[in-house]
Amino acid sequence: MLLVDRLNVYIEASHILRDVSLTVGEREVVCLIGRNGAGKTTTLRTIMGYIAPHSGTIEFRNRPLAGAATFEVAQLGLGFAPEDSGIFADLTVGENIEISTWTRMTARPADARIALAYSVFPGLRRYERRKGAQLSGGERKMLSIARALALDPEMLLLDEPFEGLSPAILPTVSEGIHAITRMGRSILLAESNIHHVPGYTDRLYVIERGEIIFAGAPAEVYKNEGVLKIIGGTP
């Protein structure tokens, strides 16, 4: 579904991404792991059109994305939940979710898409009329993912969905993401903590200083001591 090939990105004079290549297939959950500043967020933001690449290829279902505006990328079926959640603080939970249904028109009615978003995180229903500014960090993360799902995307890009969450709420968010995969949606998930990689992950990439240094099955990364040392894991 998603192909990123030899992607290079500069921000001012800094070479941030260096020949980054990765793929996400139908119904796959793919994790991009790396330390803070390694290039994970830049990769996702470039795919979504926030950053223009210097060179390389980005394709979604064989359609080129490089140079497309962010709203055009979303209309093609890519949902995005950013690291900072990106919710509208002055809108209610219900309004935040509903606004996604205006961005991309699909055969699924808006009411059904909103119901689908709430089905992933049922607890959000209790706060339907609460403003985004009144939510906890974990609630904002869940709302961000639910809003992305209300777009009715074929694939979701999730940037650090587990960052800063308490141990009590981590399973709720992880199960919500798992529920999305069971709906047949593909997911590209960026994460800085190898221990937060969901057990249902199909493939894993490790990025360091803007370069992919490992690609393979999650179990394989634990056999590579050099990579584990970089990302803070244990053999």
What number is the average pLDDT over the span 33-56? Answer: 96
Instruction: Give the C-alpha separation, 46 to 133, whole Å.
Output: 28
Position 80 pLDDT exceeds 60: yes
pLDDT tens across 148-174, in order? 999 999 999 999 999 988 888 999 999
pLDDT tens across 182-221, in order? 999 999 999 998 888 888 999 999 999 999 999 999 889 8
Q: How many domains does the chain have?
A: 1
pLDDT of residue 164: 86
Structural domain including 94 reads 2-231
Position 121 pLDDT exceeds 80: yes
pLDDT tens across 96-113, in order? 999 999 988 888 999 999
Mean pLDDT of the residues in the chain = 93
φ, ψ (nearest 5 deg) of residue 14: -90, 130
Position 129 pLDDT exceeds 80: yes
CATH number at residue 120: 3.40.50.300
pLDDT of residue 143: 97
Burial readout 33-56 (b: 16 or more C-beta within 10 A, e: otherwise) = bbbeebbbbbbbbbbbbebebeeb
Instruction: Please answer whether residues 113 and 37 qualify as being in contact, where contact means their C-beta atoms are separated by less than 8 angstroms.
Output: no
Taking residue 116's Cβ as centre, other Cβ atoms within 10 Å add up to: 18
